[in-house]
Amino acid sequence: MNVKAYGAHASDLPLEPMDIPRRAPGAHDVQIDIAYCGVCHSDLHQVRAEWAGTLFPCVPGHEIVGRVSAVGAHVRGFKPGDLVGVGCIVDSCKHCEECNEGLENYCGQMVGTYNGPTPDAPGHTLGGYSQSIVVHERYVLRIRHDAQQLAAVAPLLCAGITTYSPLRHWHAGPGKKVGVVGIGGLGHMGIKLAHAMGAHVVAFTTSAAKREAATALGADEVVVSRHPEEMAAHAQSFDLILNTVAAPHDLNALLTLLKRDGTMTLVGAPATPHPSPEVFTLITKRRSLAGSMIGGIPQTQEMLDFCAEHGIVADIELIRAEQINDAYERMLRGDVKYRFVIDIASLAQ
């Protein structure tokens, strides 16, 4: 079956309409009519070949929500009409230590929702900027939000789980002081989630203009990181800092804000490395500098259920598919609060 999509034929070409193939659902597959797809920074990096190994045509999109349109003979968990989501993962080996623990995101054979290897034509996976997708049931998530919230649920599938997973892993919650660095697609979700988990949340921004916005998202305090006296007031006080900034920056200034045994975890993916932090900053207080990449399928379901229960969605700007190239330029300027989401119905028009 061919469906309409939006993608690029080369790294130096804009995204444009195209027809792409989708396999017929196999015994364990779920076929999904896509309603909305979020626009992640990774989409832009991949489609412009700023990361190695982009395969063309490239159809990005890994914040997918929609309704089940068909299921394979052995699928028991989903039926046509169900509201579902697909995030960054559409396959993995299913039998390694990571897969057995529900940490498919760390499986050595994890297949990304786009640009991953697949026996399906054209030989690499094609993402959610398209009318439908066929995914093994293991990687399909159930959505319990109201259907009217569906567009704003889409970004939870990447931005939501990328921040939820480290917050849970390092025990954000009541009595914990959690910093969130960067107030963008990832950071705005980090603030909402850490607040809902009951932590004392401090947002870090380079721009004083974002103070009110961060407070509205749920931050208890806001620090303008360019003001040394504001930074100094928080020295040695954080249990956890969730750093969402992908641009290379000085990590020492933030690491010194961790208390003994505190952790700063990086979730942004910089094109070039951060300058290495001072060893003394780490050893003198047994501090940890860590990383975290999206989250496994069971935890992604837990995150979606947590968000449904707490009424959490992303703050979005809905766009039509043909606005995607402009949206990328605006995203590069930081001109979005806080996530673009494509209305996939616009592909048919």
- Residues forming contacts to Zn ion in the complex (CB under 5 A) are 40, 42, 92-93, 96, 99, 107, 158
Q: Residue 35 or residue 158: which is nearer to Zn ion going by CB? A: 158
Q: Residue 35 or residue 157: which is nearer to Zn ion going by CB? A: 157
Angle formed by the axes of helices 185-196 and 159-169, to 10°? 40
Asked if residue 114 lies in contact with residue 105, where contact means CB atoms within 8 angstroms, the answer is no
Q: How far is the CB of 125 from Zn ion (least distance, A)?
A: 14
End-to-end CA distance of the chain: 19
Q: Residue 45 or residue 171: which is nearer to Zn ion going by CB? A: 45
Q: How far is the CB of 236 from Zn ion (least distance, A)?
A: 33
Q: How far is the CB of 153 from Zn ion (least distance, A)?
A: 15
Q: Residue 84 or residue 158: which is nearer to Zn ion going by CB? A: 158
Q: How far is the CB of 92 from Zn ion (least distance, A)?
A: 5
153 phi, psi to nearest 5 deg: -80, -30
Q: How far is the CB of 115 from Zn ion (least distance, A)?
A: 12
3-state SS track over the chain: CEEEEEEECCCCCCCEEEEEECCCCCCCEEEEEEEEEECCHHHHHHHCCCCCCCCCCECCCCCEEEEEEEECCCCCCCCCCCEEEECCEEECCCCCHHHHCCCHHHCCCCEECCCCECCCCCCECCCCCECEEEEEHHHCEECCCCHHHHHHHHHHHCHHHHHHHHHHHCCCCCCCEEEEECCCHHHHHHHHHHHHCCCEEEEEECCHHHHHHHHHHCCCEEEECCCHHHHHCCCCCEEEEEECCCCCCCCHHHHCCEEEEEEEEECCCCCCCCCCCCHHHHHCCCCEEEECCCCCHHHHHHHHHHHHHHCCCCCEEEEEHHHHHHHHHHHHCCCCCCEEEEEHHHHHC
Q: Residue 92 or residue 256: which is nearer to Zn ion going by CB? A: 92
Which amino acid, 126? L
Q: Residue 162 or residue 205: which is nearer to Zn ion going by CB? A: 162
Q: How far is the CB of 198 from Zn ion (least distance, A)?
A: 26
Q: How far is the CB of 185 from Zn ion (least distance, A)?
A: 8
d(CA 295, CA 36): 21
Q: How far is the CB of 87 from Zn ion (least distance, A)?
A: 8
Q: Residue 95 or residue 310: which is nearer to Zn ion going by CB? A: 95
Q: Residue 93 or residue 318: which is nearer to Zn ion going by CB? A: 93
Q: How far is the CB of 281 from Zn ion (least distance, A)?
A: 30
Closest CA to 219 of 240, 200, 205: 200
Strands 238-243, 83-86: pairing kind:
unpaired
